[in-house]
Structure 1
Amino acid sequence: MTSPYQPGAAPSPSCPAQAVPPPQEQAPPPGCPAHGAPQHQAPAQPDAHAPVKLYGPDFAADPHRFYRHLRQYGALAPVEIAPDVTAMLVTDYRAALDLLNDDATWSKDSREWMTTVPQDTPVMPMLMWRPNVFYSDGPAHVRYRDVIVDSFKLVEPHELRARVQHAADTLIQRFGARGEADLIADYARLIPLLMFNSLFGLPDSYSERLIAAIGGMLEGNSPEEAAAANEAFTTYIMELVGSKKGQRGPDLTSWFMDHPNALNDEELIHNIILVMGAGNEPLANLIGNALSRMLSDDRYYNTLSGGALTVHDAINEVLWNDPPLTNYSAHFPVRDVFFHGTWVRAGQLVMVSYAAANSQFDTTEALAPGSGSGSHLSWAAGPHACPVKRHALLIATTAIERLTAWLSDIELAVDHSELEWRNGAFHRALAALPARFTPISPDQAGATPWHNSDRSPMSSTRPEPTSTARQPASAH
């Protein structure tokens, strides 16, 4: 893209952050405020600096069209992530890596920014400062991160896999006899919650409370329902912490408490909430998005016993092309900075689009093999990269393998084009994933989830590690 500035001369800091107007080389996406006039009207003079809305049904249906348009601004583009809440979005892979690895220029502390936006904005829960690993810098961040990393290291992979299998079997028992299920509401969204309830040390009897609380916060139809769900979640967390203060166990809560970094009560609670929240939604979306690909693409399922590609391939393809968390890594520059062609004000919200950066490779010739182009950014990068991605991959892979092994003829109940995506600037998430299969029941002959105490179904995939090698984009 040709810069409007003279070569070698940076613009003045007084220049607005979104100073580089996009060239009009391709049609903008629907909903772009700079090009929104109906065709039958004479359009007003377009405002090339107006932020592009990253929410609404058009964005949910085809976000990659928006990303292609936003890349015309350069490495950063002005966006609106909620009414009256704007940000700069990094869509360039190299720029994303530069930001994610530079914690001297970019802070995670959102407290100053919070004073500049409506306090009731729906994106506040995702961006509000808390004393946890997401929103801290420097020594505080290292201190929190060490607690999380060291505690998860104590979770043995074979034990984690067994826990996932137990959770998967529990859920499949609920809908197996029906011959149909919504794989989002009945499976993908529940697996992480069952897992976290177990990993943090509460018995299975508490899992329904956690499921109801998180579901109410995500899907509450009114402020009253959302508030009641938040209160239920708070009560759950307080009971969890209280129980472990009375008696430790081999669980994450106890390990968080006993870590030599000595979290105080507030830090402990906020980091538990962070791990549960950050683990739940993206992991549920990863499982759902991978299942939608597998069940709609003959490369995965062309016979009852499986296809040419594996669960690992489906997950990897999702992480490249439809990351479960598409736009995040909120950062705030500690000073005015001229970053990849754009001035960004101190304290301004800048987010990274993992999806846009990942999909740039077909046009980026500069990223040669060995330069980092072999790694997607869906786990972020740098000091704030996901600290437990191996655990997340194991959970997602095992959950999908378990489902497709017990229900070997499972298929979508609707055409893939009819699937609907949830609205929101941060995630790529299906609203539902209706599927059908031959019913299974407790009294049938052979192995079923009801009779698996000492045996498991044969996996439909070969046991190989998930690769970060680039996968071809799916047509779906």
Structure 2
Amino acid sequence: MRQHGPAAPVELAPGVRATLVTDYSAALKILQHPDAFTRDSRRWKALQEGEVAPDNPVLGMMAYRPNVLFTDGAEHARLRQAVTDSLARLDAYRVSRHVERVSTYLVDQFARRGSVDLLNEYAKVLTFLVFNELFGCSAEVGDRLISGFTGIFDGIDAEAANQELAESLVQLVAHKRAEPGDDLTSWLMEHPAKLSDEEMVHQVTIMLGAGIEAERNLIANGLLLILSDERYFGGLYSGGLLVEDALNEVLWNSPPIANYATHFPLQDVDLGGVTLPARQPVLISFAAANTDPALSSSRQMLSTRAHLAWGSGPHACPIKDSASLIAVVAIEKLLNQLPDIELAVPADELQWRPGPFHRALSELPARFTAVQTAPAARSAATPDRATAAGIERTAAAAEATGPQGRGRWWSSFLNWWRA
């Protein structure tokens, strides 16, 4: 697309035309100038004039919602402050410890098999369980959130999944109004911004949705790089580079969200010789901007912050530090528990999920030496009857989770942990 200049015309889905920015400097210009580019998709001319069908598949990611992602100016500042102040209360030690517990629990489920799908059985489930903990979900609400988000992300009965997700978030907000706790939902509710119940639902939706999709892809893409590149795992270098280095390389070259940050020019804009029509969507290709040939080839090692994978400007991702911590701990813990793990198929044979926005694997099969005694059991001399029963229940629940059944990951994890 670079032959078109700093941006190129694209069709995101049938009937949805947009402009995709592929140039690093041009991307920064748009991301850092909200005075000329709005995030409010109610300004989208084609949508308002009925040229985009209401059931178009990209509207789930592009249609307006009253949350921090789709607002500008004073309203955005108010919502953003509530989100960032709440996230600032997260304790890194608490987050790290919970990721370690979830990792141990998940490895218990497949350690005896000697094989695992690191995307669907590890990265995806770990992300759900960790975020459920951070937002203070009960067992019932946590299971419904997992079921709803899974249906939306995977396109399985999306209408029913969206309904279940909405109902579960309303239930979560109502529960926290009555019984606040030491969690993100309660902190957001307590903020001086005084968010209404509707505002609470929409802020939690974007925080969970954006966080879960990006986080699981970051973990999976990081594991793929580490297990397929001798610089990181085995071979001549014997794993000489760190997990942090691998994730930095992923954020530069294979960002979890490849194309997004939809903007709408308030008037026609000339972008390096390319006209951006007023009120037509303009998306940033983080993947293309990060690999702009104009950037120095040494950029990745010299800077861990210059990439655009987290965005830039007033809408930059507010949870990037916690997201990075979760990914590092999840990967390190897995590799420590299963030190001989390796890919089960060549990296170039892996399949990627279709879609205009994400860089997401469909699966990541791996193999390792089967562990006869699971990590959680190894941590104690002999598991008591309650612990053994809890592990047995969680294994059964994991097997029941899939396209044909509603997962009980969160309640199963809570049962395991309490036991």
Give the TM-score normalised by the residue count of structure 1. 0.75
The match for 1:112 among 30, 43, 55 is 43
AA aligned opposite 1:450 = A
CA distance in 1, matches of 2:106, 2:43: 44
Q: Deviations over 1:77-128 (max 9, x none)?
A: 1011111111111111111111111010000000131324221111000001
Deviation at 1:235, TM superposition (A): 2.1
Q: Does 1:136 align with 2:71?
A: yes
- Aligned residue in 2 for 1:173: 108
Give the partner amino acid of 1:167. V
1:336-351 residue pairs with structure 2 within 5 A? Answer: 336-351=268-283
Alpha-carbon distance in 2 for matches of 1:127, 1:372: 31
Q: Residue 173 of structure 1: CA displacement? A: 1.2
CA displacement 1:3-50 (0-9 Å, x = unmatched)? xxxxxxxxxxxxxxxxxxxxxxxxxxxxxxxxxxxxxxxxxxxxxxxx
Larger helix percent: 2
Residue aligned with 2:340, SS: coil
Partner of 2:349: 418
Cα deviation, residue 172, structure 1:
1.2
The offset of 1:345, in angstroms, is 1.8
- What is the one-letter code of the residue matched to 1:246? A
Q: Which amino acid aligns with 2:183?
A: D
Which residue does the alignment assign to 1:189? 124
Residue matched to 1:78: 9
> How far apart are 1:210 and its partner, in Å?
2.6
Structure 1 CA distance for aligned equivalents of residues 298 and 247 of structure 2: 23
Give 1:220 shift. 3.4
SS of alignment partner, residue 377 of structure 2: coil
Q: Secondary structure at the match of 1:86?
A: strand
- Per the alignment, residue 194 of structure 2 pairs with 262
CA RMSD of aligned residues (A): 2.4
The yes-or-no answer on 1:201 pairing with 2:136 is yes
1:121 corresponds to which residue?
A: 56
- Structure 1 residues 135-161: Cα deviation after superposition (integer angstroms, max 9, x where no partner): 000011111111111011111100110
Q: CA deviation at 1:208?
A: 3.4
> Given residue 347 of structure 2, which amino acid in structure 1 is its aligned partner?
H
- The equivalent of 2:393 in structure 1 is none
Q: Output the CA distance in 2 between the equivalents of 1:245 and 1:219.
A: 31
Shift of residue 76, structure 1, vs aligned partner: 1.1
Residues 421 and 428, structure 1, Cα contact 8 Å, conserved in 2? yes
Cα deviation, residue 181, structure 1 = 0.7
* Shift in alpha-carbon separation, 1:358–1:341, aligned structure 2, 3 A: same
CA shift digits 1:369-405 (9 cap, x unpaired): 9x99971110111111111100000011111111111
Are 2:88 and 1:153 equivalent residues in the alignment?
yes
> Residue 33 of structure 2 aligns with which residue?
102
Residues of 1 paired with 2:82 and 2:72: CA distance?
15
In the TM superposition, 1:358-397 aligns within 5 A as 358-360=290-292, 362-364=293-295, 375-397=306-328
SS across alignment from 2:376? coil
Q: CA deviation at 1:177?
A: 1.3
How far does the alpha carbon of each residue in 1:349-382 deviate from its partner, in whole angstroms, 9 at most, with x for none?
001111111101x44479999x999711101111
* Secondary structure, aligned partner of 1:328: strand
Kindly provide the amino acid, as one letter, of the partner of residue 269 in structure 2: V
User: What is the rounded CA distance, in whole Å, between the counterparts of 2:42 and 2:238 in structure 1?
Assistant: 50
Q: Counterpart amino acid of 1:200?
A: F
Q: CA deviation at 1:234?
A: 1.7
| Aligned partners of 1:304 and 1:408 also within 8 Å | no
Aligned letter for 2:249?
A: E
How many residues of Structure 1 are paired with residues of Structure 2 in the alignment? Answer: 376
The AA in structure 2 aligned to 1:432 is: E
Distance 1:326 1:191 in 2: 22
Q: Give the counterpart letter for 1:289 in structure 2.
A: N
1:214 to 1:163, Cα distance in 2 relative to 1, 3 A: same
| Alignment-derived partner of residue 221 in structure 2 | 289
Pick from 236, 257, 260: which aligns with 1:328?
260
For residues 264-298 of structure 1, what are the alpha-carbon distances to aligned partners after superposition, in whole Å with 9 as ceiling and x for unaligned? 11111000000000101111101001101111111
Q: CA deviation digits over 1:156-204, x for unaligned, max 9?
A: 1001101111121121111111111101110111122111111111245
Match of 2:234 among 294, 299, 302: 302
CA distance in 1, matches of 2:181, 2:372: 36
Change (3 A) 1:366 1:342: farther
State the percentage of identical aligned residues. 44
The code of the aligned residue for 1:355 comes to A
* Alignment partner, residue 466 of structure 1: none
- More relative contact order in 1 or in 2 (CA 8 Å, sep 6+)? 2
Q: Secondary structure at the match of 1:133?
A: coil
Paired letter, 2:12: I
